[in-house]
Amino acid sequence: MTTSRRFASASYARNALRDIRMNKMLYLLIIPPLVYLFVFHYLPMYGVIISFQDFSFKKGYFGSDWVGFEHFQWLFENPTFRRAFFNTFKINLLRILIGFPCPIILALLINEVRVTVFKRTVQTVSYLPFFISWVVLAGIFNDLLSRDFGAVNNVFASLGLPRIDFLQDPNVFPFTLVVSEIWRTVGWGSIFYLATIATISPALYEAAEVDGANRLQKVLFVTLPALRPTMVVLLLLSIGNVLRVGFDQVFNLYNPLVYETGDIIQTYIVRSFSEFPRFSRLAAAGFIQSLLGLIMLLVANEGVKRLQDGEGIY
Amino acid sequence: MRGLRWSPIDIAIVFGLAVFGLMTLYPFWYILVISFSTPEAYFASDYHLIPSSFTIEAYQYNLENPQLTRSLANSIFITAIGTTNSLIWTTITGYFLSKRGLAFVSLIFTLFLVTLFFDGGLVPKFILIRQLGLRNNLLAVILPFTINPFFLILTKNYFRTRNPEIEEAARVDGASAFTILFRIVVPTSKPILATVGLFYAVQYWNDWFWPMIYLSERELFPLALHLRNIVTQSTSFEHNTGGIGVTSPATIRASTIVLTIVPIVLAYPFVQRYFVHGILLGSSKE
């Protein structure tokens, strides 16, 4: 057993060497990307150890004092961090709950359009906001959604409805986040569904027609079932990403009045970083976020694998 | 499909999608109209649907503001150098990873994949940049983002869908891997390179976060960060004064926003026809 394994690894090394000799140029070309990967991605991972230390630049990674789980304990006893921790889940689950069906509905509607020019135009327009950063969108929405001057509230007022403080009322703010994110990404999300719809065999629709199916029935019994695998993948993926998304949006839209419902882990870290940089403590907060994010993503990927005959997302 | 009769459902769907499209465009139109308004007209109009005044004062003010022109130059520099650098290395790495026969392909691919799942976080990255001496250097917002694993996967998958025969023929004729890559593979992979190039360019152009962390000198700020400073300052100002006494900043803010979006909107239609194709081919598992 051991001999054969040793033999196998020796021949593997021989093959690898031969492989490198034969493809010298390719291997030369891959050296800079590997150096890049090591320096900018793997070195910072090592930096995670400072969350178990009392890091100071003077003493460095090796000289700083070890403090065990002190920072983690401090964080979970700190009401601001705890609030941010739960807000992260609340906002993102709300986002998935309300936002998930939207691109599906949009794709189904676009698919029903028979005028190609109109179809293409709607698609092109719908992808556009995805490419605009939240800095810009926050600049627009601060104006558009403002309580006293904003166009949206002016519409409400002209209809005799009360003005709503979308950006400063802590009860409304999470919904502002969710709806504006849907506005930005619904078109982009529909691409994946439209692509799946394009692969459905026309024979299925013809068969349904022969069976006397009307338009709605064709959507319900042919299109939707065909979309199911895509839905599952995208749903699990967004659940897996719960801890990783939303920073750009929240950080650019929120303000002290809505910290109570709007502050998330990443905004907590970045705000503390610029106000009062305790490197080790913030590294610990980042580590919690990364680790939980990793676990959720792995669980989601495992779920996809189960549902798709062993094929994960990654 | 000519001659098909329009049922009420068709009309309802087209109407609904038209409303949706207009709602998508309205915020952009709104800010465009404000950017060309006089301050008086800004306060007089409720919806800014139809321009009631026209002035380029806000743009004049902005283009005479040295901070804005410097930020614009920084953004152009970061986007041009960053996108070129990223495209070159993503193409090379993607090409390498598309060669299934090579011994180290799966190992190296895994090394890249890991970075999608776990990252060191803000603080260790900041410490790294400080120790490399890259603080307040534009390279700090370019080099760490050379290869984006998502775009790398798209590129690799696209290369794998290519017909290997042409490359094989060139190899037999004695062409080196370098020649094959840049003379044969690159010129025939336009959809994916345009797609990934657009994504990188948008990423560099829109980035305000890492510049905010790594750059503290105003002369180095890109446009997005400059805009963020204007937006946050003015909102805290409006907040502090209850909205009273705010004069021209709204129109100047609007014109800065327009200047930030324009390059993306101009490039978008040209690349748009490639990217749906590029994404779908790249994201399909062969």
- Of the partner residues B13, B231, B243, the one whose CB lies closest to the CB of residue A139: B231
Tell me which residue of B268, B46, B160 sits closest to A129, measured CA to CA. Answer: B268
Q: Are residues B31 and B84 in the same domain?
A: no
Which residue range is the domain that position A134 belongs to? 74-307
Count structural domains, chain B. Answer: 2
Q: Are residues A148 and A271 in the same domain?
A: yes
Q: Which residues in chain B touch residue A12, judged by CB atoms under 8 angstroms apart? A: 103
Q: Are residues A287 and A196 in the same domain?
A: yes
Six-digit token string for B171:
């190899």
What are the Cα distances from residue A311, in Å, to A87, B74, B105, B124? Answer: 33, 43, 19, 34
SS3 B132: coil
What pLDDT score was predicted for residue B245? 40
Q: Which residues in chain B touch residue A181, judged by CB atoms under 8 angstroms apart? A: none
What pLDDT score was predicted for residue A307? 75
Q: What phi and psi, each to the nearest 5 degrees, are found at residue A98?
A: -85, -35
Q: Are residues B47 and B143 in the same domain?
A: no
Does position B234 have pLDDT exceeding 90, yes or no?
no
Q: Are residues B120 and B31 in the same domain?
A: no
Does position B34 have pLDDT exceeding 50, yes or no?
yes
Q: Which of residues 66-85 of B touch A (CB under 8 A)?
A: none
SS3 A143: helix
Tell me which residue of B266, B261, B263, B252 sits closest to B67, measured CA to CA. Answer: B252
Does the CB of A248 have a partner CB in chain B at under 8 Å? yes
Q: Are residues A33 and A113 in the same domain?
A: no
Residue A313 domain flag: no
ipTM associated with this complex: 0.87
Q: How far is B166 from chain A (nearest CA, A)?
A: 18
Q: Are residues A169 and A233 in the same domain?
A: yes
Q: Are residues B35 and B101 in the same domain?
A: no
pTM for this entry: 0.88
- pLDDT tens for A38-95 read 999 999 988 888 899 888 888 888 888 889 899 999 999 999 999 999 999 999 999 9
Residue A314 domain flag: no
The rounded distance, in Å, linking the Cα atoms of B218 and B226 is 8
Q: Are residues B81 and B112 in the same domain?
A: yes
- Averaged pLDDT for residues B34-45: 85
- pLDDT tens for A123-171 read 999 999 999 999 999 999 998 998 888 899 999 999 999 999 999 999 9
CB contact under 8 A, A37 and B10: no
What pLDDT score was predicted for residue B280? 67
Does the CB of A179 have a partner CB in chain B at under 8 Å? no
Round the average pLDDT of chain A to a whole number and report it. 88
What residues contact residue A266 under an 8 Å CB cut-off, 6+ apart?
A: A88, A246, A247, A250, A251, A289
CA-CA-CA-CA dihedral for B115, B120, B121, B125, to nearest 10: -100
Residue A220 domain flag: yes
- pLDDT tens for B82-132 read 999 999 999 999 999 998 888 889 899 999 988 887 888 888 999 999 999
Among B32, B55, B78, identify where a domain stops. B55
What pLDDT score was predicted for residue A223? 94
Dihedral sign from CA coordinates of A263, A264, A265, A266: negative
Among A66, A86, A105, identify where a domain stops. A66
What stretch of H or E contains A18? helix A2-22
Which residue range is the domain that position B10 belongs to? 1-55
In chain B, the percentage of residues whose pLDDT exceeds 90 is 48
Does position A15 have pLDDT exceeding 80, yes or no?
no
Q: Are residues B50 and B67 in the same domain?
A: no
Minimum mean pLDDT range among A10-14, A49-53, B169-173, B226-230: A10-14
Among A50, A66, A82, identify where a domain stops. A66
Residue A312 domain flag: no
The DSSP output letter for A163 is P
Q: Which residues in chain B touch residue A168, judged by CB atoms under 8 angstroms apart? A: 239
Does position A107 have pLDDT exceeding 70, yes or no?
yes
Q: Are residues A200 and A96 in the same domain?
A: yes
Q: Which of residues 7-26 of A touch B (CB under 8 A)?
A: 12, 15-16, 19-20, 23, 25-26
Q: Are residues A218 and A252 in the same domain?
A: yes
Does position B80 have pLDDT exceeding 80, yes or no?
yes
- pLDDT tens for A180-225 read 999 999 999 998 899 889 889 999 999 999 998 888 999 999 999 9
Q: Are residues B63 and B33 in the same domain?
A: no
Closest-CA residue of chain A to B272? A124
Q: Which of residues 32-71 of A touch B (CB under 8 A)?
A: 32-34, 36-37, 39-41, 43-48, 50, 57
What pLDDT score was predicted for residue A311? 61
Question: Between A303 and A263, whose confidence is greater?
Answer: A263
Among A66, A99, A115, identify where a domain stops. A66
- pLDDT tens for B183-225 read 889 998 888 898 899 889 999 999 999 999 999 999 999 999 9
Count structural domains, chain A. Answer: 2
Q: Are residues A183 and A223 in the same domain?
A: yes
Q: What is the CATH number of the domain that holds A285?
A: 1.10.3720.10
Q: Are residues B121 and B204 in the same domain?
A: yes
- Averaged pLDDT for residues B264-271: 82
The rounded distance, in Å, linking the Cα atoms of B228 and B260 is 11
Q: Are residues B208 and B262 in the same domain?
A: yes
Q: Are residues B204 and B93 in the same domain?
A: yes
Dihedral sign from CA coordinates of B100, A308, A297, A230: positive
Report yes or no: A193 and A103 within 8 Å, Cβ to Cβ. Answer: yes
Six-digit token string for B249:
């900043």
Closest-CA residue of chain B to A311? B285
- Of the partner residues B112, B118, B261, the one whose CB lies closest to the CB of residue A132: B261
Q: Are residues A46 and A100 in the same domain?
A: no
- Of the partner residues A26, A131, A269, the one whose CB lies closest to the CB of residue B122: A269
Q: Determine which of B5, B105, B123, B168 to mutate to test the interface with A (most A C-beta atoms within 10 Å).
A: B123
Does the CB of B174 have a partner CB in chain A at under 8 Å? no
